[in-house]
Amino acid sequence: MTVAATFEIEYLQYLGKDGTPVAELPAAFRDPKALLPAFKQMLFVRTFDSKAIALQRTGKLGTYASCLGHEATHVGIGASMQPDDVFAPSYREYGAQFMRGVLPREVLLYWGGDERGNDFSGPKQDYAWCVPISTQCLHAAGAALKFKLMKQKHLAVACCGDGGSSKTDFYAALNSAGAYQLPLILCVVNNGWAISVPRSAQTGAQTLAQKGLAGGLHCLQVDGNDLIAVLEGMRRASERARNGEGGSVIEFMTYRLHDHTTADDARRYRNDDEVKDAWTREPIARLRTYLTAQGVWSEEEEKAWAEECGKKVDVEINAYLETPVQPVEAMFDYLYADPPPDLLAQRAFALAQEGR
């Protein structure tokens, strides 16, 4: 038999689930102090997430997509990007967006039903939140093509979930990246569930990373609960992209510790033992153990930082709650330059209902 080609998917992990090193650390991350800013950001994101859920439960926020358990993957992706790069998120990568300057109050504004939240702080070339699944991958591929044509050493990064990697948009994006050697990184955040559909029922592929092989991309699977592995995986892919070596598909293995959104009840489709086991691998406890063992973090420092995070998030919550609501006509006034008659009639009806 003649073999046309063979492939391997490398798996990156440096910290085991108990926080002890399982491989030699990359040179860039051997100083544990270098990991502290990202770890503190992970703690901030978790504080924000818990308070956002509380806001929704008390009727002060619309449906909200939790990022609980994704902190290392999201923060690591954001920490690996440069300001002139382009980020195309889905709808829960708050840790990456906070690293790029998005304000928590803007996230809350968006989930509160106010589209002004999508005009967020940070790099203006970044794309807005994308609820349609994986269409943002095509947007990022377009940005990467622009960088290639303009001979700019920037890159485009898109995030999707494990279910999103089965969409035609994802495949079209990776095929374009391979055909044109685009500086594109497709981050597949594999949290085990596409809402209620388990990974096992989504695809016959042994890994999700290998989907990039069909397009000729570099492919890598990473322990998404290991911040060091996330940073190293992104470093490798970024270096390749900026050097003109083409794009990558990185599969980040993590777990969704909360419901898909606050409109979901994950108890209906996954069992408690699975969730309890996932908590033994979660990213913050793992990195806390490592940093404490290295003597650069302590319980006292975390208590003080947790208190500061709570205050910072409360400031953002108050800013969100105090933002004046847009007038009802705002939902009509920004759709068309020349509104059609039926829309104008709806606008007039809405104003009449308000007595204006």
Q: Across all residues in the chain, what is the average pLDDT?
A: 96
Over residues 254-272, mean pLDDT: 97
Over residues 328-336, mean pLDDT: 89
**Can you spell out the DSSP letters for 194-247?**
ETTEEGGGT---S-SGGGGGGGT-EEEEEETT-HHHHHHHHHHHHHHHHTT---
DSSP 70: -
Residue 186 pLDDT? 98
Contacts of 92 (CB under 8 A, 6+ apart): 65, 66, 67, 70, 74
Tokens 């699977």 — which residue?
221
Over residues 203-214, mean pLDDT: 96
Candidates 256, 258, 281, 286; catalytic one? 256
Active site residue 116: no
Q: How far apart are CA 231 and CA 28, in angstroms?
A: 9
End-to-end CA distance of the chain: 80
**Is the predicted pLDDT of residue 45 greater than 70, yes or no?**
yes
Over residues 166-176, mean pLDDT: 97
Over residues 184-203, mean pLDDT: 96
Q: How far apart are CA 19 and CA 225, in angstroms?
A: 10
Active site residue 256: yes
Q: How far apart are CA 83 and CA 152, in angstroms?
A: 13
Q: How far apart are CA 51 and CA 46, in angstroms?
A: 9
Q: What is the pTM of this model?
A: 0.95
Confidence bin at 274 (pLDDT 50/70/90): very high
Find out whether 65 and 260 touch, Cβ atoms under 8 Å.
Answer: yes
Q: What are phi and psi of 26, to 5 degrees?
A: -60, 150
Over residues 327-335, mean pLDDT: 89
What is the number of alpha carbons within 13 Å of residue 83 lying toward its C-beta?
5
Sign of CA dihedral 294, 300, 305, 306: positive
**Is the predicted pLDDT of residue 136 greater than 70, yes or no?**
yes
- For 54-92, what is each residue's pLDDT tens digit? 999 999 999 999 999 999 999 999 999 999 999 999 999
**Is the predicted pLDDT of residue 356 greater than 70, yes or no?**
no
Candidates 154, 260, 281, 286; catalytic one? 260
- For 235-253, what is each residue's pLDDT tens digit? 999 999 999 999 999 999 9
**Is the predicted pLDDT of residue 287 greater than 90, yes or no?**
yes
Cα 77 to Cα 67, 73, 86, 97, 159: the distances in Å are 14, 6, 12, 9, 9
Separation of CA 7 from chain center: 28
Q: How far apart are CA 122 and CA 108, in angstroms?
A: 16
Task: State the span(s) of the chain assigned CATH 3.40.50.970.
Answer: 10-325
Candidates 30, 57, 116, 269; catalytic one? 269
Find out whether 60 and 108 touch, Cβ atoms under 8 Å.
Answer: no
Residue 355 pLDDT? 79
**Is the predicted pLDDT of residue 335 greater than 90, yes or no?**
no
Over residues 163-180, mean pLDDT: 97
Q: How far apart are CA 250 and CA 224, in angstroms?
A: 10
Confidence bin at 334 (pLDDT 50/70/90): confident
Residue 170 pLDDT? 98
Active site residue 154: no
Q: How far apart are CA 252 and CA 254, in angstroms?
A: 6
DSSP 267: G
**Is the predicted pLDDT of residue 113 greater than 80, yes or no?**
yes
Over residues 325-333, mean pLDDT: 90
CATH number assigned to the domain covering 10-325: 3.40.50.970
